[in-house]
Structure 1
Amino acid sequence: MLGKKKEAAYGDIDTFISHHMEIKGEIHTKGSLRLDGRVEGQIKAEGDVVLGEKGWVKGEIKAKNIIIAGNIEGNVHAENRLEIAPSGQVHGDVACDILVIEEGGILNGLARMKKMEKKEERGKEKK
């Protein structure tokens, strides 16, 4: 289970989608989102996204920081940090600066570390 302490480290949750809710379409929020329901479509958040253990997404997630404790079938783009909890499953490619996969967490896809790309670009500019 995802602890309140871990969620608090990512900031306040502005929007909560419960496990009773199913959404088909895009979700855009200027704040942070906690998702325990099902979404078919793209999720874009200027804040953080927490996909709870009962959460399921078929589509893409883009946010500042992302915690995955549920299941996503699609690509994940975290501006900063992506964390896959022990119950989390990502079936798609990920891009982030910091990647944490806890024991039991699953990443079935490619990982692209944006920090490394930034360093390589700076190295090319100096030449």
Structure 2
Amino acid sequence: MAKTFLSSDVKIDGQLKSNGDIEIDGEVKGQIQAKAIKVLNSGKVHGTLTCDTLTVDGEVSGTVGANDLSISSTGIVLADVQYATLTTAKGAKLQGQIKVK
């Protein structure tokens, strides 16, 4: 399955759906649905994210539904989150309503 990459100069307002992986280094406002989503260091997402695996090195706000959520030391998640497994690095920021699936 191909990987979709949104570079730092890309701004999207809308809906993204993929059966594969999405890497975000730009800004997205809206809904994202994919097998795996990775928000890179300069990436910012505001909206609803639904995926099997979410890795956050940048910023996420809104609503998150992920089986596996990983937040790096530079990651910021300000969202209502539902997950099965959670991994956070020292320095990671997580704020919101948290529910285990």
Does TM-score exceed 0.5, indicating one fold?
A: yes
- Residue 68 of structure 1 corresponds to 56
Q: Which structure has the highest helix share of the two?
A: 1
In 1, Cα distance between equivalents of 2:59 and 2:39: 8
Unaligned runs of 5+ in 2: none
In 2, Cα distance between equivalents of 1:102 and 1:21: 27
1:82 aligns with 2:59: no
Task: Give the structure-1-normalised TM-score.
Answer: 0.76
- Residue 109 of structure 1 corresponds to 96
Task: Give the structure-2-normalised TM-score.
Answer: 0.95
Instruction: Give the fraction of aligned pairs with identical amino acids, expressed as a percent.
Output: 32
Question: In the TM superposition, what is the alpha-carbon distance from 1:13 to its structure 2 partner?
Answer: 6.0
How many aligned positions are there?
A: 101
The higher-RCO structure (CA 8 Å, 6+ apart) is 2
Amino acid at match of 1:82: L
2:32 to 35, 43, 51: 43
Unaligned runs of 5+ in 1: 1-11, 115-127
| SS of equivalent residue, structure 1 residue 26 | strand
- String of CA shifts for 1:66-96, please: whole Å, max 9, x gaps: 0011101111110x21001111101111111
